[in-house]
Structure 1
Amino acid sequence: MNRQKYSDAKENFLQRRYGVSLGRRYALAAASVVLFSVLGCSQVDSNKSVLAQSSLPQPETPLQKKTVNTDTKIVESSNKFGFKLFSEVLKNDTEKNIFISPSSIAIALAMTYNGASGSTQQAMAKTLELQGMNLPEINSSYAAALNQLLDNSDAKVQLNIANSLWANQDVSFAPDFLKKTQDFYQAKVSNLDFKDAAASSIINNWVKENTKGKITKIVETIEPNKVLFLINAIYFKGSWSNEFDKNQTAEYPFYVKSGEQKQHPMMSQKGDYRYYESEQFQAVSLPYGKDGKVSFYIFLPKQNSSLKAFDQNLNVENWDKWMTQFNEQKGFIRLPRFKTDYDVTLNDALKTLGMEEAFSNKANFSGMGKNFAISQVKHKTFVEVNEEGTEAAAATSVGMVATSLRQEPEPFRMIVDRPFFCAIRDNQTGSILFMGSIIEPQ
């Protein structure tokens, strides 16, 4: 990418800010937190913090929206990484509901990637599916993709993405790393006295505000070796394009993984849907808002198959193929009203995917500072689906320590009464905001 295109992409992105004031009842919220601390000797100067010296702008008012063309490579890399990560998580959590935010995790790790160098950067590029893209291209592509995600005129479907960087006031960081984080990811940059007991509350309050109260605490205590928190928060709020009639909700059996039957509140609806059916599963898209820019996708394995068999075929190549197979069709759907929460430590999954060096004393984050390494990647989520909409939240903390014509088909019937896969997808960009396997609705 030449310098002019690079500058133009930055300028386009800076026309947007991430904060959005929302006011409807049902919401989908996600927060990713990247937590950094020092491994070894960091560059410390209590009087000459690079952050303190930097007077980087902090936009506080919405800027004019501007539509840009998203680089599909960055969406494909984020989705591919998300499916790989989901597959690894499934290996260790086969007996409970799983729900993650691949977009949130990818954005958080993309910001972290700006501080990586050498073989650590190469390993992260492989894991995040960023190979073949240089750093300026990655950053400007993410800026453009985020800009387009946020370009929404539907009052019933609103999306907020916010980033922040909280640094120990006694530690200096590479100014180029800070500036990239702010220029391309519009991060709020702040100095804090990490020795002050109130520091964690300040960070948690920012997360709470930017997830509309869905995530209230991501930092428990700030240990002495912690020097940096890099946080991403995603908040989506929408209601169904066609809300479910509460009077149609009734108790029906749901068959859990063991085959045991349990009575559960099920929502029912008839209408025209984007629908796809194969030999292995039924799938339907339930849109939010007036234009269906974002949808809730449900994949229900057939009786002669299973969610495990579906998961084994779940990858970005099949996903992209399936997305082209949906067609308008009349039908009936019965869907459980459910909510679930989930938490997982992603260290082992990310190491298996190729990021092991980033967790070791061989880690090279010299683009950020001296002797940094990742200690822990923690992910927590919550989701609730009911007659009026969807509400969900996710938090990710990454800790760094010092070291044509066709015959009209028959109307379908889709009874979601057994374990199923679901995803929330931005249909305009193709970005998968959330995905999960629901074994037993609670």
Structure 2
Amino acid sequence: MNRQKFSGVKNSFLQRRYAVSLGRRYVLAAASVVLFSVLGCSQVNTNTSALAQPGLSQPEPSLQKKTVVIDTKIVDANNKFGFKLFSEIAKPDINAKNINVSPTSIAIALAMTYNGANGSTQQAMAKTLELQGISLPELNSAYASLNKQLQNPDENVQLNIANSLWVNQDISLRPDFVQTTSNFYQAKVTNLDFQNVTATSTINDWVKDNTKGKIDKIVDKIEPNQALFLINAIYFNGKWSQEFDKSQTKPQPFYTASGQQKQHPMMSQTGEYRYYENPQFQAVSLPYGKDGKTSLYIFLPKQNSNLKAFSENLNAENWEKWMSNFSKREGAISLPRFQTNYDITLNDTLKALGMGEAFSNKANFSGIGDNLTISQVKHKTFIDVNEEGTEASAVTSVGIVATSLREPQEPFKMIVDRPFFYAIRDNQSKNIWFMGVIVEPA
């Protein structure tokens, strides 16, 4: 591999810094959708009317405007669930294709669904989502606090979380369920005539608006037995704390898992980074915004290792151990510009993680309505990383039918020229927004 461009880094590095140019912001958007429908011609219980009229305006959330303290149990649960989910997805062949998922987006969508689960269905979902021992009031309050705390973490970083509940005008839901999604998840609740040809575009326009156009469609068509759509959108707009100098981007070899060499634009930068290295991998944190409260983490397996070996050790316990070992260190990094789309149906994955009952006729979502079961969970994502920042989006659809001090160290060199793992993490709450692997930058 040609790495002569880094040969002088030891002697010249400490005197050299690339200028930081302020450019346009990049966007990271994630959206999660929960689709509910009713088996056959049956309806959700109409004894109590949860929604009075289309376009129902929402009450203000009953949250006290005080200093918000993040419930670490919920963040820990989200991250544990995220790593379990990722490992199950990657199990068949992690080197087969690029993977990109938003565990937070999926977790929020399923948490709102979890509010309507009862009995053994609730227990199965709690196990899968790592929510054992956490009551519903505690869960919902924690998500409300997380939402409030994490929005707009930096003057140069915007983060917005939006939820909405779209209900067929012929359907009545449990009032408690609607109130919970409204008060704690700040969901916009709207009655809609699902038979009207404009219903699909109305829902998709909300998705497009709340992802700044990065996701323009989540509903292709509305089936006659559809009851409701529950949608979550996450929007992140930030720029690197230190942007990559475009003049330093040069074609360099990238080696795929099969050993094939492909020329690809590689961005280069030097500076002081939070960095960690062990016999298995190198890892670096590339921060966004002025305060670096959110970062892109790159994990590059060593030449004597690979993504498969790395993924076998990737879990919440090891992740926290690795995070605690990052420390400031001078160095140089070469990172490929990469862009990838990802599409997966998560039914089998969630069943393997213990949620099988929620997909069966035994499902109990009586907290939402009668005779409901999950029919399909789909997840689609997009991510683009370049010199100015990161742009990404994710869509998750869940269909429901009824049945310190240190010794001086030499500058590191990190050439990301082979398959690697990445994660986008909020460094204050420790919440992980995105994670994935790149086996071949597009």
| TM-score for both structures, normalised by structure 2 | 0.91
5 Å-filtered alignment, 1:360-371, equals 360-371=360-371
Distance 1:44 1:130 in 2: 28
Deviates more, 1:371-380 or 1:47-56: 47-56
Distance 1:238 1:409 in 2: 31
Output the aligned Cα RMSD. Answer: 2.0
Q: Aligned partner of 1:249: which letter?
A: T
Residue 38 of structure 1 and its aligned partner are, at CA, apart by: 1.3
Residue 407 of structure 1 and its aligned partner are, at CA, apart by: 1.4
Residue 197 of structure 1 and its aligned partner are, at CA, apart by: 1.4
1:110 aligns with 2:111: yes
**Matched residue, 1:373:** 373
Residue 57 of structure 1 and its aligned partner are, at CA, apart by: 4.7
- In structure 2, relative to structure 1, the CA distance for the partners of 1:25 and 1:250 (3 Å cut) is same
Residue 80 of structure 1 and its aligned partner are, at CA, apart by: 0.3
Distance 1:101 1:438 in 2: 15
Q: Deviations over 1:14-52 (max 9, x none)?
A: xxxxxxxxx95311110011111113633365x984212
Distance 1:247 1:54 in 2: 54
Between the two proteins, the alignment pairs up a number of residues equal to 417
Q: What is the SS of the residue equivalent to 1:331?
A: strand
Q: What is the SS of the residue equivalent to 2:184?
A: helix
Distance 2:380 2:221 in 1: 17
Distance 1:52 1:106 in 2: 29
**Matched residue, 2:318:** 318
5 Å-filtered alignment, 1:382-401, equals 382-401=382-401
Q: Deviations over 1:396-433 (max 9, x none)?
A: 00001121543111100000000000000000100000
Q: What is the SS of the residue equivalent to 2:257?
A: coil
- In structure 2, relative to structure 1, the CA distance for the partners of 1:386 and 1:151 (3 Å cut) is closer
Residue 363 of structure 1 and its aligned partner are, at CA, apart by: 0.2
Q: Deviations over 1:191-239 (max 9, x none)?
A: 0001111111100000000000000000000001111100000000110
**Matched residue, 1:9:** none
**Matched residue, 2:276:** 276
5 Å-filtered alignment, 1:299-310, equals 299-310=299-310
Residue 92 of structure 1 and its aligned partner are, at CA, apart by: 3.8
Contact persistence 2:128–2:353 (CA under 8 A): yes
Distance 1:388 1:336 in 2: 13
Residue 60 of structure 1 and its aligned partner are, at CA, apart by: 9.6
- In structure 2, relative to structure 1, the CA distance for the partners of 1:349 and 1:92 (3 Å cut) is same
Contact persistence 2:45–2:369 (CA under 8 A): no
Distance 1:283 1:399 in 2: 38
Distance 1:260 1:75 in 2: 39
**Matched residue, 2:13:** none
Q: Aligned partner of 1:201: which letter?
A: S
5 Å-filtered alignment, 1:76-225, equals 76-92=76-92, 94=94, 95-150=96-151, 152=153, 154-225=154-225
Distance 2:65 2:223 in 1: 40
Q: Aligned partner of 1:141: which letter?
A: A
Percent of paired sites with the same residue = 72
Q: What is the SS of the residue equivalent to 1:396?
A: strand
Q: What is the SS of the residue equivalent to 1:185?
A: coil
- In structure 2, relative to structure 1, the CA distance for the partners of 1:324 and 1:92 (3 Å cut) is same
- In structure 2, relative to structure 1, the CA distance for the partners of 1:208 and 1:39 (3 Å cut) is same
**Matched residue, 1:4:** none
Contact persistence 1:269–1:333 (CA under 8 A): yes
- In structure 2, relative to structure 1, the CA distance for the partners of 1:363 and 1:199 (3 Å cut) is same
Q: What is the SS of the residue equivalent to 2:111?
A: helix
Contact persistence 1:38–1:371 (CA under 8 A): yes
5 Å-filtered alignment, 1:234-245, equals 234-245=234-245
Q: What is the SS of the residue equivalent to 1:437?
A: strand
Deviates more, 1:65-74 or 1:80-89: 65-74
Deviates more, 1:84-93 or 1:338-347: 84-93
Q: What is the SS of the residue equivalent to 1:158?
A: strand
- In structure 2, relative to structure 1, the CA distance for the partners of 1:413 and 1:97 (3 Å cut) is same
**Matched residue, 2:33:** 33
Distance 1:217 1:86 in 2: 25
1:403 aligns with 2:394: no
Distance 2:54 2:75 in 1: 32
**Matched residue, 1:433:** 433
Residue segments in structure 2 that go unaligned for 5+ positions in a row = 1-22
Residue 311 of structure 1 and its aligned partner are, at CA, apart by: 0.6
5 Å-filtered alignment, 1:284-295, equals 284-295=284-295
Q: What is the SS of the residue equivalent to 1:323?
A: helix
Contact persistence 2:55–2:189 (CA under 8 A): no
Residue segments in structure 1 that go unaligned for 5+ positions in a row = 1-22
Contact persistence 2:48–2:174 (CA under 8 A): no
Deviates more, 1:48-57 or 1:161-170: 48-57
Q: What is the SS of the residue equivalent to 2:91?
A: helix
5 Å-filtered alignment, 1:353-364, equals 353-364=353-364
Distance 1:323 1:297 in 2: 10
Q: What is the SS of the residue equivalent to 2:52?
A: helix
Contact persistence 1:424–1:434 (CA under 8 A): yes
- In structure 2, relative to structure 1, the CA distance for the partners of 1:59 and 1:175 (3 Å cut) is closer
Q: Deviations over 1:250-279 (max 9, x none)?
A: 000000010010000000000000000011
Distance 2:211 2:426 in 1: 19
Residue 64 of structure 1 and its aligned partner are, at CA, apart by: 10
Distance 2:144 2:60 in 1: 18
Distance 2:69 2:56 in 1: 27
Residue 287 of structure 1 and its aligned partner are, at CA, apart by: 0.2
Contact persistence 1:225–1:402 (CA under 8 A): no
- In structure 2, relative to structure 1, the CA distance for the partners of 1:158 and 1:151 (3 Å cut) is closer
1:250 aligns with 2:250: yes
Residue 54 of structure 1 and its aligned partner are, at CA, apart by: 10
Contact persistence 1:44–1:170 (CA under 8 A): no
Distance 1:268 1:92 in 2: 33
Q: Aligned partner of 1:216: which letter?
A: D
- In structure 2, relative to structure 1, the CA distance for the partners of 1:69 and 1:60 (3 Å cut) is closer
Distance 2:392 2:64 in 1: 28
Contact persistence 1:107–1:232 (CA under 8 A): yes
